Amino acid sequence: MLRYAIKRIALAVVILITVMLAMYAMVFLVPGDPASLALGPRATPELKELLRERMGLDEPVLMQVWHFFHNALTGDLGYDVWSKRPVLDQILEFFPNTLILGITALGWAVVLGIALGCAAVVWRGTVTDRLLGILSVGLISVPAFVVAIYAILIFAVWLRWLPAIGAGTPGDIGSQIRALILPAFALGIGWVGYLARLVRASLLEVMGENYIRTARAFGLPERRVVVRYALRVAIIPTIALLAVGLGSILSSAVFVETVFGRPGIGTLITGAVQKRNYPVVMGTVLFMTAFYLFIVTAADLLITRLDPRVRDVFRR
Amino acid sequence: MSEAVLSVENLSLRYRVPGGTVAALRNVSLAVRQGEVLGIAGESGCGKSTLAAAMIDLMGANAEVTSGEVRLNGRDILALSPAERRRLRGREIAMVFQDPMTAFSPVLTVGAQLVDFQFNLDGVPGREKWVRARDMLARVGLSDPELAMGRFPHELSGGMRQRAAIAAALLMRPAVLIADEPTTALDVTMEAQIVHLLRELQADYRCAIVIVTHHLGVIAELCDRVAVMYAGVVVEEAPVDALYHDPRHPYTRALLACDPARIEAATGRLPAIGGRLPDLSNLPPGCAFAARCGIATDRCRATPPPCVALGPGRSALCHEVTP
């Protein structure tokens, strides 16, 4: 188990380095000079050169890469010349907003999605099952930003129940929660359908297993059969998906954050890409990749705890 | 002779399939008394596993009982409410499953499942259920039951799993044990050991056992009486010795002739029954075996065969047999 954990963590580090190298290559292949963009068309060559120097862009690429990794290891993600603040500070300021949004969105989606999936299995083959199927596919198909716009229209503009934009007043938990409801709703709704379908499919597969018949043959009540014998096995693919889901929900948060004018990693990175603000782009990507790898690795290790068969494959 | 603990009376069952129904059981009547071991033999698809499932009321969702009763200790279990039926399981009737590889949940330890399986045992604390489970594992011959309790099913060998499955079935001392192909998934040495174990346990617990198998050797070793099934009907029922020494129904004769263990003359050829099972969704009007039978007449093909009594506890479903 420990050896497996070490292997997984080493793999995560390798992936992280690869991603960063690929990012560096991509950044330098994209046309556009950050210094000219920042200073405008009328800047003097000397001024541009000065800025390039301060951003470290005058060095050879390999040296830049080396500096970047070296600094990243010591927790220094670089300095943003636009806002005149360290990159890490900005990330740490914006990331909690995005994380709270992602977790809230995924959280309600998981609860409702698993419940709907179980409901579809309990009433399998009936009208309820079919209606849930149509509902799920519908929810999956609607893009988050469309839901976001309609949600603003209905709940903020017409009904005036919830704020349309922003992340709430700092320090006022009530207003922050109210500001979270619509974005989390818009971001999570697609996942409700997705999870309902996944849970239904994996539960149905498991319900056909012999050990379900065994549990019934010993007179275990149906609820205990479904929860302890079926869901425990059926939940494994869902957990694997949730890890990937949190990563993808954090990246799709960009749309929702834009629509709701909500400060977060999404708005930070889109702004930085538009300005060719490399330190912020690189720092944010590194941070998000690391976070994502952390989640996926943690989920993998959790699965090995839940499924003893997987655990044993790696014990050998 | 004592009263039957489990009896099936005129049971007919069919499966709903796309485009019609399949008659899996037709007017099956069988009984097993306390301490008796009944074997149900027949080739794949003859309805023996369906019969076993019907006895413990675990038919699939597409199964439909069209007539008949399954009486357990005198009560018709098919007439009981689902909750009442659930209360009987494990306590009065238990099942040893065919494939011990998949009969246990892969994500719970053997011990956790054996404790769970005593759900219908009221007023017994969890700790005591654990002790009962461990003792039963020791009883079925696991050398280190304490260790096995903490193991996951895939960490045990096939033979150990099969023993654990038998232990599970015996946990609540049921009056009737249904064993569906208890040795099919095992190799020959293991099979001999499991047969030996079942015989020993049967002598100890005096429960009635119904063994469903296509393996005639297992039946000869274990059973007191045999019912031979073909295409959803019991074609011959007889005490085990009588059946082996003097098979009466043509199908039973053919079946015994195909048993590799019984071929004495080294002909070098393994006999087989020509043809195959009739289409169960569209049965012939007469005897279901007529198309493959060597002595079938026009009467066999036209009218269903009668049940001919051939002596005490002995009968055959055939036009051509005489008492």
Question: Domain boundaries in chain B?
Answer: 1-31+40-87+221-263+277-323
Would you place residue B148 in the very low, low, confident or very high pLDDT band (cuts 50, 70, 90)? very high
Q: What is the pLDDT of residue B1?
A: 46
Q: In the numeric block, which tokens belong to residue A280? A: 């912020």
| pLDDT above 50 (res B321) | yes
Residue A280: inside a domain: no
- Note the pLDDT tens digit of each residue in A84-114: 788 888 888 888 888 888 889 899 999 999 8
Q: Return the closest-CA partner of residue B282 out of B14, B10, B3.
A: B14
Q: What is the pLDDT of residue B225?
A: 92
**pTM here?**
0.71
Q: Does A213 touch chain B (CB under 8 A)?
A: yes
Q: Does A211 contact B105 at a Cβ distance shorter than 8 Å?
A: yes
Residue A69: inside a domain: no
Compare all CA atoms of chain B with the CA of A206 and give the residue at the minimum distance.
B105
**Residues B132 and B172 sit within 8 Å (Cβ to Cβ):** no
Q: What is the pLDDT of residue A112?
A: 92
Domain CATH number, residue A253: 1.10.3720.10
* ipTM metric: 0.83
Nearest residue, CB atoms, B90 vs list A210, A218, A232: A218
Q: Does B95 touch chain A (CB under 8 A)?
A: yes
Task: Name residues whose C-beta falls within 8 Å of residue B236's C-beta, 6 or more positions apart in sequence.
Answer: B226, B227, B228, B243, B247, B248, B249, B251, B252, B315, B316, B317, B318
Q: Does B81 touch chain A (CB under 8 A)?
A: no
**pLDDT below 70 — which residues of chain A?**
1, 27, 30-35, 37-38, 55, 81, 167-169, 310-316
Instruction: Say which residue, A52 or B177, is predicted with more confidence.
Output: B177
Average confidence (pLDDT) over B250-267:
73
β-strands B4-17, B20-33: how paired? antiparallel
Q: Which residues of B touch A231 (CB under 8 A)?
A: none
Q: What is the pLDDT of residue A304?
A: 76
**Residues B119 and A220 sit within 8 Å (Cβ to Cβ):** yes
Q: Does B94 contact A217 at a Cβ distance shorter than 8 Å?
A: yes
Instruction: Say which residue, B273 or B269, is predicted with more confidence.
Output: B273
Q: Does A233 contact B152 at a Cβ distance shorter than 8 Å?
A: no
Q: Does B108 touch chain A (CB under 8 A)?
A: yes
Residue A34: inside a domain: no
**Residues A184 and A108 sit within 8 Å (Cβ to Cβ):** yes
- Residues of the domain holding A219: 95-151+184-263
Would you tell me which residues 289-308 of chain A have a C-beta closer than 8 angstroms to some C-beta of chain B? 306-308
Size of chain B in residues: 323
Residue A205: inside a domain: yes
Q: Does B320 touch chain A (CB under 8 A)?
A: no
Residue A88: inside a domain: no
Would you place residue B220 in the very low, low, confident or very high pLDDT band (cuts 50, 70, 90)? confident
Size of chain A in residues: 316
In three-state secondary structure terms, A316 is coil
Nearest residue, CB atoms, A219 vs list B86, B105, B168: B86
Residue A1: inside a domain: no
Q: Which of A26-35, B250-259, B306-315 has the lowest mean pLDDT?
A: A26-35
Q: In the numeric block, which tokens belong to residue B61? A: 């969702």
Does B1-31+40-87+221-263+277-323 carry CATH code 3.40.50.300?
yes
For A97, A137, A188, the CA distances from A104, given in Å and listed in that order, are 11, 22, 8
Q: What is the pLDDT of residue B40?
A: 93
**CB crowding B189-201: b at 16 or more within 10 Å, else e:** ebbebbbebbeeb
User: Where does A30-172 have alpha helices with state H?
Assistant: 34-39, 45-54, 61-73, 87-122, 127-141, 144-151
Average confidence (pLDDT) over B20-36:
89
Q: Distance (Å) from the C-alpha of residue B207 to the closest C-alpha of chain A?
A: 17
Q: What is the pLDDT of residue B269?
A: 67
Q: Return the closest-CA partner of residue A56 out of A31, A32, A40, A77.
A: A77
